[in-house]
Amino acid sequence: MKVEHFLEKNEVREITIFKQLVLNNGILSYGKMLDHLAVSKASLENDLESITSRIEVFNDQVQVDYDGQEIKLTMSDHISLQHIYRIYLDQSIKMEIINYLFKHQEFSITQLTQQLAISDSSLFRKIKELNTHLKEFGLKIRNGQLQGEELQIRYFYFQFYYYIEDKSALIHLRSDQQITQAVQSVENFLQVNIVPENRQRLNIWLIISKSRITNKNKNYKQLRKQMHPYLKDPLYHKIHVMVLRYYSRYSIEVDEEEAMLHFAFLLAFPILTEHDFHEYTLIRDRHAPIASLDTYIVETIIIHFKFRKLPYMLERDMYYHLTHIHTRLYFFQGDIEIYEYEEMLAREKQVVGKNLVPLARTLLTTSTDKFMSTEVGDNSLLKMELLKYISLLTLISFKMATVIQIGIDLKMDGLYKDTLSQLLILKMRPINGIQIEVYQPSKSYDLILTNEKPDEEHQYQEARVYILSEILSSFDMANIQRIIQELNA
Amino acid sequence: MKVVIIGASFAGVAAALEVRKKHPHAEIILLEKQSTLGYIPNGLHLYWEQKIEHLDEARFITKEQLETQKVQCHLGATVQKINTTQKILHYDYSEQEELISYDKLIIATGSRQLSEKIDGSAHESVLKYKRYGEAQAALVKVEESQHVTIIGGGQVGVEAADLLNKKQKQVTLIESMDYVLFKYLDEEMIQPIEQKMIEEGIDLKLRQTVSSIETNEEQKVTVHLGEDSVTSDAVIMGVNVRPNLHFLDTQVELHMDQTIAVDRYLKTSVKDVFAVGDCIQLSGPGEDMVYIPLINNAVRTGIVAAANLMEPTVTFNGSLRTIGTSIFGHYIASTGMTEAESLFTNQKVKTRRQTVRLNSLPNSETVTLKWVYDADTEVILGAQMISTANILEKINTLALAIQTKQTLEDLQQKDYFFHPAYSPMVSTTNLVSWMEERIDEDES
d(CA A181, CA B26): 44
d(CA A317, CA A363): 17
> Is pLDDT at B443 greater than 50 in this prediction?
no
Longest dimension (CA), chain B: 70
Determine the average pLDDT of the residues in B8-30.
96
Structural domain harbouring B202: 126-237
Instruction: Report yes or no on A385 lying in a domain.
Output: yes
- Residue B130 and residue B198 in one domain: yes
Instruction: Report yes or no on A219 lying in a domain.
Output: no
- Residue A412 and residue A395 in one domain: no
d(CA B221, CA B173): 14
pLDDT of residue A59: 86
Determine the average pLDDT of the residues in B110-127.
88
Residue A252: closest C-alpha in chain B? B257
Residues in chain B closer than 8 A to A189 (CB atoms): 343
Residues in chain A closer than 8 A to B256 (CB atoms): 210, 213-214, 250, 252
Instruction: Report yes or no on A332 lying in a domain.
Output: yes
- Residue A380 and residue A413 in one domain: no
Instruction: Report yes or no on A32 lying in a domain.
Output: yes
> Is pLDDT at B54 greater than 60 in this prediction?
yes
b/e burial code for range A96-108 (CB count within 10 A of at least 16 → b): bbbbbbbeebebe
CATH number, domain with residue B355:
3.30.390.30
Determine the average pLDDT of the residues in B281-293.
90
d(CA B255, CA B288): 13
User: Among B237, B265, B284, which residue terminates a domain?
Assistant: B237
- Residue B231 and residue B255 in one domain: no
Residue pair A328/A368 in contact (Cβ under 8 Å)? The answer is no
Residue pair A226/A327 in contact (Cβ under 8 Å)? The answer is no
- Residue B154 and residue B218 in one domain: yes
- Residue B272 and residue B346 in one domain: no
B166: which residues sit within 8 A by CB, 6+ positions away? B48
Determine the average pLDDT of the residues in A151-166.
94
pLDDT of residue A353: 60
- Residue A7 and residue A34 in one domain: yes
Structural domain harbouring A387: 286-400
Asked whether the beta carbons of residue A253 and residue B183 sit closer than 8 angstroms, the reply is no
- Which pLDDT band, with edges at 50, 70 and 90, does A340 fall under? confident
Q: Tell me the β-bridge partners of B237.
A: B151
- Residue B218 and residue B291 in one domain: no
Instruction: Report yes or no on B378 lying in a domain.
Output: yes
Instruction: Report DSSP letters for B310-345, one per residue.
Output: SS-----------EEEEETTEEEEEEE--TTGGGGS
DSSP state of A229: G
Residue B241: closest C-alpha in chain A? A251
DSSP state of B21: H
A132 at the B interface (CB within 8 A)? no
Residue pair A150/A223 in contact (Cβ under 8 Å)? The answer is yes
DSSP state of A161: I
- Which pLDDT band, with edges at 50, 70 and 90, does A178 fall under? confident
> Is pLDDT at B172 greater than 70 in this prediction?
yes
From B403, B404, B409, B400, select the one nearest B430 (Cα to Cα). B409
- Residue A323 and residue A387 in one domain: yes
Instruction: Report yes or no on A166 lying in a domain.
Output: no
Determine the average pLDDT of the residues in B415-419.
93
R_g of chain B, CA atoms, integer Å: 23
- Residue A356 and residue A436 in one domain: no
End-to-end CA distance of chain B: 55
Chain A closest-CA separation from residue B405 CA (Å): 23
Instruction: Report yes or no on B143 lying in a domain.
Output: yes
Q: What percent of chain A has pLDDT over 70?
A: 97
- Residue to mutate among A250, A255, A260, with most B CBs inside 10 A, is A250
Longest dimension (CA), chain A: 93
pLDDT of residue A354: 62
Number of alpha carbons in the 13 Å side-chain half-sphere of residue B418: 7
A116: which residues sit within 8 A by CB, 6+ positions away? A93, A96, A97, A100, A123
- Residue A300 and residue A357 in one domain: yes
- Residue B335 and residue B429 in one domain: yes
Asked whether the beta carbons of residue A214 and residue B243 sit closer than 8 angstroms, the reply is no
- Which pLDDT band, with edges at 50, 70 and 90, does A374 fall under? low
- Residue A21 and residue A84 in one domain: yes
Nearest to A256 among B115, B209, B240 (CB): B209
Q: B416, exposed or middle or buried, with CB in 10 Å at 0-12, 13-18, 19+?
A: exposed
Q: Which helix (H) or strand (E) holds A436?
A: strand A434-438
d(CA B269, CA B234): 43
Residue pair A131/A124 in contact (Cβ under 8 Å)? The answer is no
Look at strands B234-237 and B126-127 and give their pairing.
parallel
A232 at the B interface (CB within 8 A)? no
- Residue A444 and residue A366 in one domain: no
- Residue B409 and residue B337 in one domain: yes
Residue B284: closest C-alpha in chain A? A249
Instruction: Report yes or no on B47 lying in a domain.
Output: no
Instruction: Report yes or no on A188 lying in a domain.
Output: no
User: Among A378, A400, A422, which residue terminates a domain?
Assistant: A400
B122 at the A interface (CB within 8 A)? no
Q: Which of A61-65, B284-288, B309-313 has the lowest mean pLDDT?
A: B284-288
User: Among A400, A424, A441, which residue terminates a domain?
Assistant: A400
Residues in chain B closer than 8 A to A188 (CB atoms): 343-344
Chain A closest-CA separation from residue B444 CA (Å): 12
- Residue A291 and residue A389 in one domain: yes
Query: Mean pLDDT: which of A23-32, A421-430, A477-486, B228-237 is highest?
Result: B228-237
Instruction: Report yes or no on A39 lying in a domain.
Output: yes
Instruction: Report yes or no on A201 lying in a domain.
Output: no
> Is pLDDT at B444 greater than 50 in this prediction?
no
pLDDT of residue A68: 85
The crossing angle, in degrees rounded to 10, of helices A380-400 and A312-331 is: 180
Asked whether the beta carbons of residue A250 and residue B243 sit closer than 8 angstroms, the reply is no
A115: which residues sit within 8 A by CB, 6+ positions away? A96, A100
Instruction: Report yes or no on B52 lying in a domain.
Output: no
Q: Which of A300-304, A309-313, A377-381, B367-371 has the lowest mean pLDDT?
A: A377-381
Overall number of domains in chain A: 3
Instruction: Report yes or no on B315 lying in a domain.
Output: no
- Which pLDDT band, with edges at 50, 70 and 90, does A477 fall under? confident
- List of long-range contacts for A15-22, beta carbons under 8 Å, 24+ apart: A15/A84, A15/A85, A15/A88, A17/A47, A17/A48, A17/A51, A17/A64, A17/A71, A18/A51, A18/A73, A18/A81, A18/A84, A19/A81, A21/A64, A21/A71, A21/A72, A21/A73, A22/A73, A22/A81
List, for residues A228-242, the tens digit of each pLDDT value: 999 999 999 999 999
Residues in chain A closer than 8 A to B345 (CB atoms): 181
Asked whether the beta carbons of residue A214 and residue B343 sit closer than 8 angstroms, the reply is no
Asked whether the beta carbons of residue A251 and residue B240 sit closer than 8 angstroms, the reply is yes
Asked whether the beta carbons of residue A245 and residue B256 sit closer than 8 angstroms, the reply is no
List, for residues A427-467, the tens digit of each pLDDT value: 888 777 788 999 998 888 999 999 888 888 778 888 899 99
The dihedral built from the CA positions of residue A236, A242, A245 and A249, taken in this order, carries a sign that is negative
DSSP state of B259: P
Asked whether the beta carbons of residue A251 and residue B178 sit closer than 8 angstroms, the reply is no
Instruction: Report yes or no on B319 lying in a domain.
Output: no
- Which pLDDT band, with edges at 50, 70 and 90, does B179 fall under? very high
- Residue A314 and residue A389 in one domain: yes
Chain A closest-CA separation from residue B142 CA (Å): 26
pTM of the model: 0.88
Residues in chain A closer than 8 A to B111 (CB atoms): 251
Chain A closest-CA separation from residue B421 CA (Å): 41
d(CA A316, CA A328): 19
d(CA A239, CA A241): 5
From A79, A186, A433, A255, select the one nearest B117 (Cα to Cα). A255
Chain B closest-CA separation from residue A181 CA (Å): 7
> Is pLDDT at A351 greater than 80 in this prediction?
no
Asked whether the beta carbons of residue A244 and residue B177 sit closer than 8 angstroms, the reply is yes
Asked whether the beta carbons of residue B256 and residue A250 sit closer than 8 angstroms, the reply is yes
d(CA A224, CA B378): 45
Q: Tell me the β-bridge partners of A29.
A: A70
Dihedral (Cα; B114, B116, B122, B125), 10-degree rounding = -80
CATH number, domain with residue A83:
1.10.10
- Per-window interface: B 327-366 vs A, CB < 8 A: 340-341, 343-346
Overall number of domains in chain B: 3
- Residue A352 and residue A458 in one domain: no
Instruction: Report yes or no on B317 lying in a domain.
Output: no
User: Among A353, A375, A400, which residue terminates a domain?
Assistant: A400
Instruction: Report DSSP letters for A282-323, one per residue.
Output: HHS-TTSHHHHHHHHHHHHHHHHHT-S---HHHHHHHHHHHH
d(CA B356, CA B386): 11
Q: B299, exposed or middle or buried, with CB in 10 Å at 0-12, 13-18, 19+?
A: buried
Cα-based angle A455, A461, A463 (whole degrees, multiple of 5): 100
pLDDT of residue A416: 86
Q: Which amino acid is present at B65?
A: Q
Q: Which amino acid is present at A283?
A: I
- Residue B251 and residue B106 in one domain: yes
B182 at the A interface (CB within 8 A)? yes
A255 at the B interface (CB within 8 A)? yes
B256 at the A interface (CB within 8 A)? yes
What are the respective helix, strand and coil percentages of chain B, to the nearest 5?
25, 30, 45
Residue pair B51/B166 in contact (Cβ under 8 Å)? The answer is no
Cα distances (Å, whole numbers) of residue A83 to A3, A87, A168: 14, 7, 13
Q: Which amino acid is present at A338?
A: I
List, for residues B83-112, the tens digit of each pLDDT value: 999 999 999 998 899 999 999 999 999 998
> Is pLDDT at B376 greater than 60 in this prediction?
yes
- How many helices and strands in chain B, by DSSP H and E? 9, 26
d(CA A75, CA A27): 12
Question: Hey, which bits of A34-122 come out as E strands?
Answer: 62-66, 70-75
Query: Mean pLDDT: which of A40-44, A362-366, A459-463, B202-206 is highest?
Result: B202-206
pLDDT of residue B325: 97
**Residues counted in chain B:** 444
CATH number, domain with residue A472:
3.40.50.2300
A210 at the B interface (CB within 8 A)? yes
- Residue A295 and residue A379 in one domain: yes
> Is pLDDT at A67 greater than 80 in this prediction?
yes
Q: Tell me the β-bridge partners of B98.
A: B91
Q: Which of A328-332, A465-469, B221-225, B435-439 has the lowest mean pLDDT?
A: B435-439
Residue B256: closest C-alpha in chain A? A214
Helices (H), B144-286: 155-166, 187-199
3-class DSSP assignment, residue B81: strand
- Residue B100 and residue B173 in one domain: no
Chain B closest-CA separation from residue A173 CA (Å): 16
List, for residues A39-64, the tens digit of each pLDDT value: 898 999 999 999 999 988 888 889 99
Q: Which helix (H) or strand (E) holds A385?
A: helix A380-400
- Residue B139 and residue B201 in one domain: yes
- Residue B220 and residue B267 in one domain: no
